[in-house]
Amino acid sequence: MTRLALLCAGLMACSPFGWRGALDIGAQADDIYRTGRAQHLAQQPDGARAAYEAVLRLEPGHPGARNGLATLHAEGRELEPAIAIWRELTASIGLDAGPGKAYLFANLGQAYLLNGEHEEARGALERACLLDPLNPRAWQLLGDALAALGQAERAVQMHRQAAALRQHDLRADFAAAGGKTEVAPLGQALAAAKPQAQPDWSQSYIHVGVDGMMELRRVDAAREAREAPASAAVARLEIRNGNGVTGMARALSNRIDEPGIRVTRLSNESGFAVSHTRIEYEASHADAARRLAQRLGSTQLREVDPGAPVNLRLVLGRDLARHGTALRLSPPASAADGQRLAYR
């Protein structure tokens, strides 16, 4: 035997498990992790949690399992432990890490947003955008953070950037230009491989419904491409003052920056006696109505027959008069959330 072979044999003999045993543990942890992630995406949180915890018993630093556990915390409205995990995962990531790690900063930023820590969210989301300038989710969330900080003009700019990335193929432009750009992070992101059939965490996101419930969803690029022409149609929105607060409808109209929605009409409700804010919508614009309701908070949705000069009608109620016209990232927790169903 050569000296190197003898040395390797001696080291393996001295190890309690041996080199092969360590590899086996790593492979076992990865197998369990993949099972847990599949359960997570299938909306089976108990099975996913058990799998992630099993992985971490085998390999305490496993990044996929830690991120998965943080996401489960977030979906369960347990923001503090979710933020703690994501802060640890991002602590050692530099700006040269490339687009593959950007999703961790986006997750951290979204958790900060949901926890009302808007300045911290801005910082994390700016890093997410720098690492992966092609990710519309990070730009959208950064716009939401800036809006919450009162920086309306910059927020609109970020939201427009997100909309442009959803609607335009920058990779094709990059290829047409000979694959060159003077912006290093952009070049790194453009040169990165496109998402594959088996998505990793960077192709998943936490979706917050109108009712405040959260779930992990997978980005389906093919579906987005198929639905792009339909989503490009702009929904015409009327804002109707139903609470009698002078100037509220106009003030809110200046803040509506939701992609695919355009304010075309302002009006008044006779008697100004609307107690609860509602959105009336045509069936073909239900998604736009839900997005707008999510931004406003506790808002009733009511489907109406088509035929009006607008596709959506936002009727402002007295409940909105009590907390102003700020657009939210999601509905605030209700009193029924007593024990804190915790997450955005």
pLDDT in tens, 87-143: 999 999 988 887 888 999 999 999 998 888 999 999 999 999 989 888 888 898 998
Model pLDDT, residue 232? 41
pLDDT in tens, 15-68: 554 445 455 777 888 889 988 888 887 778 899 999 999 999 999 989 999 999
Model pLDDT, residue 46? 92
Same domain, 64 and 39: yes
Out of 222, 252, 283, a domain closes at 222
Same domain, 191 and 277: no
Model pLDDT, residue 95? 81
What's the CATH number where 79 sits?
1.25.40.10
At 86, the pLDDT band (50, 70, 90 cuts) reads: very high
Out of 222, 241, 264, a domain closes at 222
Beta bridge partners of 206: 216
Where in the sequence is the domain holding 237, given as residue range(s)? 228-337
Model pLDDT, residue 218? 54
CA atoms within 13 A on the CB side of 270: 0
Model pLDDT, residue 202? 53
Same domain, 87 and 176: yes
Model pLDDT, residue 6? 42
Task: Give the residue from 163, 95, 178, 92 showing the smallest Cα distance to 132.
Answer: 95
Same domain, 33 and 95: yes
Cβ(231)–Cβ(260) under 8 Å?
yes
Q: Please check the confidence at residue 224 and state whether its pLDDT lies above 80.
A: no
Same domain, 127 and 242: no
Model pLDDT, residue 188? 52
Distance CA 134, CA 164 (A): 10
> Which of the pair, 221 or 145, is modelled with greater confidence?
145
Any domain includes 344 = no
Any domain includes 289 = yes
User: How many Å is the maximal CA-CA distance in the chain?
Assistant: 96
Q: How far is CA 54 from CA 47, 65, 76, in A?
A: 11, 9, 20
What's the CATH number where 311 sits?
3.30.70.2390
Any domain includes 182 = yes
Cβ(34)–Cβ(65) under 8 Å?
no
Any domain includes 152 = yes
Any domain includes 343 = no
DSSP of 187-223, one letter per residue?
A: HHHHHSPPP-SS--GGGEEEEE-TTS-EEEEE--HHH
Any domain includes 202 = yes
Model pLDDT, residue 22? 52
Same domain, 123 and 197: yes
pLDDT in tens, 172-183: 555 555 555 444
Same domain, 237 and 154: no
Cβ(236)–Cβ(262) under 8 Å?
yes
Any domain includes 150 = yes
Model pLDDT, residue 254? 77
- Please state the domain count of the chain: 2
- Alpha-carbon torsion, ordered 212, 344, 233, 170, to 10 deg: -150
Distance CA 282, CA 301 (A): 11
Out of 173, 206, 222, a domain closes at 222
Any domain includes 342 = no
Same domain, 34 and 72: yes
Same domain, 42 and 182: yes
Cβ(296)–Cβ(277) under 8 Å?
yes
Same domain, 155 and 235: no
Same domain, 113 and 55: yes
pLDDT in tens, 288-309: 888 888 887 778 888 888 777 7
DSSP assignment, residue 332?
P
pLDDT in tens, 313-343: 999 988 877 665 555 543 333 333 332 222 2
Same domain, 55 and 202: yes
Model pLDDT, residue 108? 95
Segment 162-180 shows an average pLDDT of 63
